[in-house]
Structure 1
C-alpha cells in the first residue's frame, strides 16, 4: 500500500514525486526546512579554490618568488587553507541530494492539502484507509478488470477518486479527533463537558459515514473477487476440455473407461455452470459499482 495518497487530479509526474516523498515529509513533520541555496556549490567552490591555487603558484613562479624564503612562506600560509578547502569540504552534503530534497519540499508546500501521509492518521483512521486500499487493489489487479469484463475505464477514474476522498476525510477526522482527545484529557468542567460530548458524537458520526464508503468499496471488491474466481475456474475447465480427447484416448487404451469417463463427461456441465456463475458475478459487480458511484 502507498505511504502517501495523492489527489488523482495532481499531474502524474508530480504525484509520483509526492508518493516517493515519505522520508522528506517525516523530516518536515519534525521541523526540518531546507537551507537556502548557496551562491556557489561545494563542487564549484573546490574548483575555484584549485584554480586559485594554481594561478597563485603561477604568479609566484613568474615573479621568481618560489625559490625565495618569502615565497615558500606564502605557499605554506596559503597552501594549508587551500588544502583544507579542497579536501575537508568533501564532508559537505551531496549537492544532488540537497537539490532533490529541496525540490520535494517545494512540491510538498505547493500541493499542501492534496496529499495524505498515512503516518499522520490515527490508528482507527489508518485501519479504515488500509481496508479501502485493499478493496481498490482487489478490483484493479483482477484479470476480469484487465480483460474488460468490468467497466475498467470508469474503474481507473472512480476508484482512485474514492480512495483519495476517503483518505482526505480520514486525515481531517484524525487531526480533529487527536486535538479533541488532547483537550478532553486535560479535564473538563461540567459546562465544557456538555459541549464536548456532542462534538465527540459528531466525530463518531463522521467516522461512521466514512466507514459506509469503505464498506461500499468492499462490497464491490467482494463481487469482483467472486467474478475473478469464476473467471479463473472457467479458464481451467476450458484448458481441461481442450485436452479431453487426449484423456479419452488414454482411457480407451488403458481400459479404464468405467472409472474415468463419468468424470470427463462432467467437464462440459461444469464449464456451462461456471460460465453462468461468471455472468452472475459480473452482473453483481456492475450493480455494486452503480451503487458505489452514487453521489
Structure 2
C-alpha cells in the first residue's frame, strides 16, 4: 500500500498526520470539505428547530386557555435556549477539519494515490520499499552507514521521485486523451517528439529508482554479513570447549583443521562486512549525485 508522500519542508508533525490519513486526503482531493457547514453546528440547529416546533405546538395546544403570563414564560424559555446554544463554546476541531486546514496551507506539498497512474504507482512502490529496507536495516541503526544523512536524503529523494512521477502521470494521461480519437498522419508526426520526451523522462526516473534499489541491495548485503559475523563470533566464543573435547577424546588430528577454519571464516566475514559497507557508501555517493 502506497503511503502519502510529503515534501520534507513540511513540518514533521503535519507530515506524519498526512501520512497516517491518506484516505482522508483523497476525500479532500475529490472535493469534500468538512468545513462546509453553517456557523452554528448542525446538531445545534437541529435542537433549535425541534425546540421551536415544540414551543409553537405547545402554544397552539394551550390556546385561549393559557394566560398571557404562561405564554410569555414559554417564549422566554425558548429565547434563553437559543442564546445558550449560540454562546456555547464550539467543540474542539475534529481531525477532518484540522487536516483539511493543513492541506490548504501546504497545498502542492504532498501527493496522494490519485496523483499517480499505474506505472508510476509501481515505481513509487519500489522507491518506498527500498527506503524502508535501508532505514530499518541493522547496519543503519548501528551507525555503520551515514544514518543522519540517510534520514535527511532518503525522504528528499522519495519526494523528488514522487514529484516527477506525478508530472509524468499527468502528461501521460493528457497524451493518451489527445490520441484517443485517432490520429491523422500529421498529428502522429507532431506527437512523435512528445512521445520521445516522455520516454526519455520515464527512463531517467526509472534510473533514479534503480540507483536507490542498488543502494538498498548493498545495505542488505551488509546486514547479512553483520549477522553472519555475529553468529561466527558466538561460535568462536565456545571454541575452547570444543578444543578441549577433541583433545580429551584424541580426535584432534581429525578435527583441529576444521575448527581452525572458524578463525579464517570470521576474518573473511569481517572483510565481507567492510566491503559491503564500503559498497553501500559508494552507492550512497552515486545516489547523492
TM-score (norm 2): 0.80
Q: 2:182 aligns with which of 172, 182, 187?
A: 187
Does the aligned pair in 2 maintain the 1:223–1:282 contact within 8 Å? yes
> What does residue 36 of structure 1 align with?
36
- CA shift, 1:191, in A, is 2.2
- CA shift, 1:213, in A, is 0.7
- Quote the Cα distance in structure 2 between the aligned partners of 1:250 and 1:48: 90
- Quote the Cα distance in structure 1 between the aligned partners of 2:186 and 2:21: 44
Does the aligned pair in 2 maintain the 1:2–1:19 contact within 8 Å? no
- CA shift, 1:46, in A, is 7.6
Aligned CA RMSD, in angstroms, stands at 3.3
> What does residue 174 of structure 1 align with?
169
- Quote the Cα distance in structure 1 between the aligned partners of 2:286 and 2:257: 44
Matched pairs, number: 265
**Within the alignment, does 1:12 sit opposite 2:7 as a pair?**
no
- SS of 1:221 mapped into structure 2: helix
Structure 2 residues not aligned, in runs of 5+ = 79-90
1:1-295, aligned counterparts within 5 Å?
Answer: 2-42=2-42, 70=66, 99-252=94-247, 257=252, 260-294=255-289
- CA shift, 1:99, in A, is 2.9
- CA shift, 1:41, in A, is 2.8
- Quote the Cα distance in structure 2 between the aligned partners of 1:50 and 1:189: 66
- SS of 2:94 mapped into structure 1: helix
Does the aligned pair in 1 maintain the 2:2–2:125 contact within 8 Å? no
Structure 1 residues not aligned, in runs of 5+ = 61-65, 83-94
TM-score (norm 1): 0.78
Does the aligned pair in 1 maintain the 2:2–2:124 contact within 8 Å? no
- Quote the Cα distance in structure 2 between the aligned partners of 1:118 and 1:31: 15
Does the aligned pair in 2 maintain the 1:230–1:274 contact within 8 Å? yes
- SS of 1:38 mapped into structure 2: coil
Does the aligned pair in 2 maintain the 1:3–1:119 contact within 8 Å? no
Does the aligned pair in 1 maintain the 2:26–2:113 contact within 8 Å? no
- Quote the Cα distance in structure 1 between the aligned partners of 2:117 and 2:2: 16
Closer/same/farther in 2, CA of residues 45 and 261 from structure 1, 3 Å limit: farther
